[in-house]
Structure 1
Amino acid sequence: MFLTGASGFIGGYFYKTYFADYDIVPISLRKQTVGSLDFKDVEAVVHCAALVHQMEGAPAELYFKINRDLTLELARRAKMERVKHFVFLSTSHVFGDSGQVKDHDKIWSSQDECHPLDPYGQSKLEAEKGLLELANEGFKVSILRPPMVYGPGAKGNIIQLAKLIRKFRVLPLGYLKNRRSLIFIGNLCFYIKCLIEEPKTGIFLPQDEKPLSIGEICEAIAQAMNQNLTLLPLPNLVIWVAEKFTPSIAYRLFGTLAFANDPWLEKFERLTSTQEGFQRSFAPRNKEG
């Protein structure tokens, strides 16, 4: 199989975990053109490469060029070369919801209408639509929309949170009303493997066993670090002020972005519990995070 993004967080983890199980050929679309690829004996393509939202300053058109156009070019060529299966790593950003502060009962499913708010989410959603138009009985397209992914070597919000917990023994993050879906990198890669073993066209929402509040996430990280942490509860007024003046921070910390259990993925038993995932990610022996 071809694997793009093998130098990245998710693609790299998938490669080092499953290279002995499959004949995985890492390809770089920075160094190779789609037209130069030799698809002989390739039965599946796992497409993890992307221009991600952390890359600040990237022009909008570059997101569409890489995340949409290059993805569809690769998929069309794969289909033309009779590849049977295309696995696309999308994102929860397609929903256009960075976290509901007022509605903690909202649960997202793969059937919900998407309204992405930024070029990253928009380009991923347009890629999804184009891929599903290519899908047929001989060319299965599996799309995964992971929530926040954590694990050794992860970047993003959860790492910033871990740095705060390492630095301070008391934090005003004892908020338990919100819910955030998240997934350990090992579980996400396991679900990719499940789809490779049982190719299926559709949109899938992978996650750990249940969404957690910001308070529960902080407690789990501190426990993995073997660190005492006191979380102070926040009154609703403080959250209201945060939402009014710093909405992006309020949504990330106190908002709800929770998935419904995916009926197809749920038939597979997760490899790693959330508690074990945090332990593997943030225990003192790990330098990452």
Structure 2
Amino acid sequence: MSSEPTVGRDLGARPGRLVDATCEPVNAIQAPGTPERDWIRWRGLDGLPRIAPATAGGLVVVAAHPDDEVLGVGGLVASTSAAGERVRVVVLTDGEASHPDGPIPPAELAARRVGESTRALAVLSAGGPAVEIVRLGLPDTGVAAHEAAARAALVELLAGYALCAAPWSGDLHADHEAAGRIAAAACAAAGTPLVEYPVWMWHWAGPEDPRVPWARAVRIDLTDDGARRKRRAIACFVSQIAPPAPGTDDRVILPPEELAHFERDFEVLFR
């Protein structure tokens, strides 16, 4: 997840939520979000069709930024690895723009986020095959300008895998939407089934929101071990769940009310 300045569909200038009392909401993502209690009370989530918590034949996960892969499908990654299947994670950017105009140089912030992602994926795969990580190094906030090259690279990276999971192309974040388009085109070319995972949707949408393709939604009920591993992996993303430079830059991308959407014992995908 990232809250860098960028332009997404139907958005203003900054599709990300930096918790800062001086910051006025300017778009659907920065505006106050839907509380997790509203989602959990909605019977629609419990009524979604269930699919298996692990992927036979191997899984490729596409992420726009380091942490999207864990927030969106960390439980699926953990369960697939625990079943002895291969998991390859393709991260399009290093997330260097998550705190624009902050005191941490972009290269240092990128290094932090890459390290956090590497540790988180090690937590998810402990006891199973190590997750393979491929980082394409595209510019954070600029994925859409590199769709053709990323699509060509992903077609090759999908070879031999049974399923691809990628950000939902309607997530109202420019990089997430570009990642979804890239994955859809690559999967079509490679003949690989695709599922999409929402990230920011849990913030800006609400139960029965007509902008969300609920008819395509399915649910993965995580194993106890998969849910525990996912929560531990999320905790690795210190740069996103705590101020990156306390006293100098106190902005938080993922405060507790946002993390609650991803600490459930289930995940939702669109297929």
TM-score when scaled to structure 1?
A: 0.32
Using CA pairs below 8 Å that are at least 6 residues apart, which structure has the higher relative contact order?
2
TM-score when scaled to structure 2?
A: 0.33
